[in-house]
Amino acid sequence: MNNPGHNLFHYILNTTLVLSFLLIGLSSFGQSKDQLEKKKKELERNINYTNSLLTETKKNKEASITQLATLKNKISLRQRLIRTINKEVRLIDNLIDENNEIIRSLEKDLEDVKREYARMVYYGYKNRSSYDKIVFVFSSKDFNQAQKRLKYIQDYGDYRKKQAALILQTKELIKHKIVSLETRRNQKKKLLLSKEEERGKLAAERLEKNTIYERLKTKESMLKSDLKQQEKESLKLQKAIADIIAEEIRRAREAAKKSSGFILTPEEAKLSASFKSNKGKLPWPVKRGIITGHFGEHDHPVLQGIKINNNGIDVSTNQGAIARAVFDGIVTGVIILPGANKKAVILRHGEYFSVYGNLRETYVKKGDHVMTKEEIGIIFTDAKKFKTEAHLEIWKISKSGTIKLDPESWIAKRGKP
């Protein structure tokens, strides 16, 4: 027997599958959009924070290397923000295209279902009499078939009502999705306006950076004098760090009664392994800040043909900011740099050492046990340049002596506090 309900079932099944895929797609879109929104807000927070640092440095009427580095950081953040907005726009475009296709498919299926449903209603109308129903049941080949036909007649009315309700539900869902798509289009328009606004700000920031660069080029003698002073302080700090680490090695050898190698106690070995396993996850040495000085050798940002070498990283932060430990450790030394009014603290983490330089005041002393994020001192502020910059170094004892590591690869990404 030709059963219209059987064909209708397949149409409804197909429609249900399409709706399921649509809902899964929307769920995936929601997750992706939330991630992009979170990233965008984080970038906007970092840009606002960078603006506050620029406000501080601009109190110095003279252009400075710190201003230049902070502006470069801000421009980089702005570029990342624009790229994130672009990703959001592409995500919405893809959703609009996909959902338009799904809606067209649903509308086609809905028309097919409505036609099949009409056939079903017509079929029910033709076989509505009690006599036809009795003939339909008693014309069965056997008792089993008769029982199934009787069950079919009993369920037929309810089934038809359910399918009619499903048709209305599908129509309502299509209507809802069309409204939702219009909302997405409006979101896209706002994002595009935001993108243009960010591009305008980026152009202004690039112009400001170029202006500061040109002004700094006219102050070559001052820059060379500053660089010479920084190098003198760095040499003093490096010598003091090397002496303290050498003393730690001597004590370890003496305790182990060996003339070579660096012996760790079981507790120190455990601490060292824990420090190593947290590479890329260590907290920053300040609650808020931006990296304005990177590890290693680099071209001077203004002076042509001059290289600068940084044994760690420099993090610009707010005046009065507190330096904090990046990991559990023991204070092995507090260094005072004569003539510079600056101090540094060295923490030992087994075979690793973290160094916190450019401090005005320290809260810890040699032998203290400190915990991760524990405050260790106030960061020095250059009153003339309105510059507050934390300095972090990471050293490791190796078989051949000591090696300096890039702290940027050890601390958490994106400035997590």
Residue 390 host element (H or E): strand 387-398
Q: Which residues contact 218 (CB under 8 A, 6 or more apart)?
A: none
296: three-class secondary structure by DSSP: strand
What pLDDT does residue 330 have?
Answer: 95
Cα distances from 202 to residues 37, 58, 185, 205, 409, in angstroms, run 20, 19, 26, 5, 28
Distance from C-alpha of 117 to C-alpha of 124, rounded to nearest angstrom: 10
Domain map of the chain by residue range? 4-216, 234-415
Three-class DSSP category at 87:
helix
Enter the tokens of residue 405: 């590591």
Q: Answer whether 212's CB lies under 8 Å from 63's CB.
A: yes
pLDDT at 148: 67
DSSP for 216-263 reads HHTTHHHHHHHHHHHHHHHHHHHHHHHHHHHHHHHHHHHHHT-SSS--
CB 376 within 8 A of CB 370: yes
pLDDT at 103: 73
Contacts of 256 (CB under 8 A, 6+ apart): 263
Instruction: Please give the Cα distance from 378 to 59 (Å, whole number).
Output: 21
- Residues 408/295, Cβ–Cβ less than 8 Å: yes
Instruction: Please tell me the predicted confidence (pLDDT) of residue 133.
Output: 54
| pLDDT given for residue 22 in this prediction | 54
CATH superfamily of 234-415: Glucose Permease (Domain IIA) (2.70.70.10)
Query: What does the block give as tokens for 355?
Result: 């160094």
CA–CA gap between residue 65 and residue 71 (Å, rounded)? 10
Using CA atoms, how far residue 126 sits from 39, 121, 129, 369, in Å, is 63, 9, 8, 92
Strands 369-370 and 342-349: unpaired
Sign of torsion over alpha carbons 356, 357, 361, 364: positive
- Is residue 338 within 8 A of residue 72, CB to CB? The reply is no
Q: CB within 8 A of 329, min separation 6: which ones?
A: 271, 347, 348, 349, 354, 369, 370
**Residue 407: HSE in the Cβ half-sphere, 13 Å Cα cutoff:** 27
Tokens of 34: 């939330």
Q: Residue 282 gets which letter from DSSP? A: B
Residue 224: how many other CB atoms lie within 10 Å: 13
Element (H, E) at 65: helix 65-126
Give 10-residue mean pLDDT values along the chain (417 residues): 48 53 56 82 88 81 82 92 91 81 73 68 59 56 66 62 69 75 84 92 93 88 86 88 86 69 81 95 94 92 88 93 96 86 93 94 95 96 86 89 93 67
SS3 356: strand
How many other β-carbons are positioned within 10 Å of the β-carbon of residue 152? 15
- Write phi, then psi, for 81 (nearest 5 degrees): -65, -45
Amino acid at 384: K
